[in-house]
Structure 1
Amino acid sequence: MSRIPTPATIDEASETSRPILDTIQKQIGSVPNIFQLVSNSSTALTGLTSLQSALGKGKLPPATRERIALAMTEANGCDYCLSAHTFTGTKFAKLDGSEIAANRSGTSNDPKAAAESNSPGH
């Protein structure tokens, strides 16, 4: 149970947070807990979604971003984040199960991605 009151549904969120949560629901099919929690402040929710949108416009392709996220969440031991990035890696970055398993150990079945993860400075 959360120590911070968290809206269980979009309808329970503040009126100003609901449109943002609706958009998230439409984009990924659910509203992850982090967004439900942050929706207590529509300003913070706007900031979080704006940051994610800006980072999504970077030069790294979605598959590379998810490979990095999977390796980091495995290293951090965060089961919640691992579950979330397994979902987004599969759904949006089109990574298969064997690739996700390799990414969790810091490598890749893709020769180019594996070479980049093993290059000096990584």
Structure 2
Amino acid sequence: MSRLTVPTRADVPNGTQGILDGIQKQLGFAPSMFSTIAANPAVLEIVMGLQGSISRLLDAKTRHTIALAVSESNGCGYCLAMHSYVSSELGSMSSDDIELARAGSSTDPRRAAVARFVQKVVDNRGQVADSDIAAVRGAGYSDAEILAIVTIAVVFLLTNYINNVNQTVVDVPATTGQAA
């Protein structure tokens, strides 16, 4: 059972209801994470703003890989379910790609380097070694892209922390190829 109160639809301001409607339209369902965050409309706007902003950084599969690797490192079951669903249903990632991302790897060498790097960033609270930076650079990422990688990881840390604190009940549909 979630630890924070989910406001009723009637308790959510009209502008916030519009945000929730947009999420439902985009995903095909209204995840409880967003309904819970709607208890504080400013927080919902911040989370949605950050998620919208990172959509301009790197390609979608790399962002999905980062989300899965970060969520695995944080042990966020809700975020793993959500990002597995989004990666599979909207991001065209195979179940093998999803499992590899969670393990800090990928069939794509560049994405594998990113997945390993973000797990080190999370596990070491940003205190990575010079060799970790060299490895991601060696995979072809510029310093500007490394900044994007860290930024994306931190945005997913935020939702991981919210859902871990809340113990959000998983309400995400099973992905194609995943047992229900």
TM-score range, shorter chain: 0.7 to 0.9
Equivalent position of 1:47 in the other structure = 46
Give 1:54-93 correspondences, 5 Å limit: 54-58=53-57, 60-93=58-91
**Structure 1 residues 82 and 117 mapped into 2: Cα distance closer, same or farther (>3 Å)?**
closer
Aligned-partner Cα distance in 1 for 2:108–2:10: 43
- Name structure 2 gaps, 5 residues minimum: 118-130, 137-180
Instruction: Answer yes or no: is the 8 Å Cα contact 1:13–1:39 preserved in 2.
Output: yes
- Name structure 1 gaps, 5 residues minimum: none
- Overall identity of the aligned pairs, in %: 33
Equivalent position of 2:12 in the other structure = 13
The answer to which structure, 1 or 2, has the higher relative contact order (CA under 8 A, 6+ apart) is 2
Q: May I ask how many residue pairs the two structures share in their alignment? A: 120
Once the two structures are superposed, residues 13-52 of structure 1 have per-residue CA deviations (whole angstroms, 9 ceiling, x without a partner) of: 3333111100111011112222111111222222221111
**Structure 1 residues 117 and 16 mapped into 2: Cα distance closer, same or farther (>3 Å)?**
closer
Instruction: Answer yes or no: is the 8 Å Cα contact 1:14–1:40 preserved in 2.
Output: no
Instruction: Answer yes or no: is the 8 Å Cα contact 1:17–1:42 preserved in 2.
Output: yes
Aligned-partner Cα distance in 2 for 1:40–1:33: 11
Equivalent position of 1:33 in the other structure = 32
| One-letter code aligned to 2:59 | P
Instruction: Answer yes or no: is the 8 Å Cα contact 1:17–1:41 preserved in 2.
Output: no
* Aligned CA-pair RMSD: 2.2
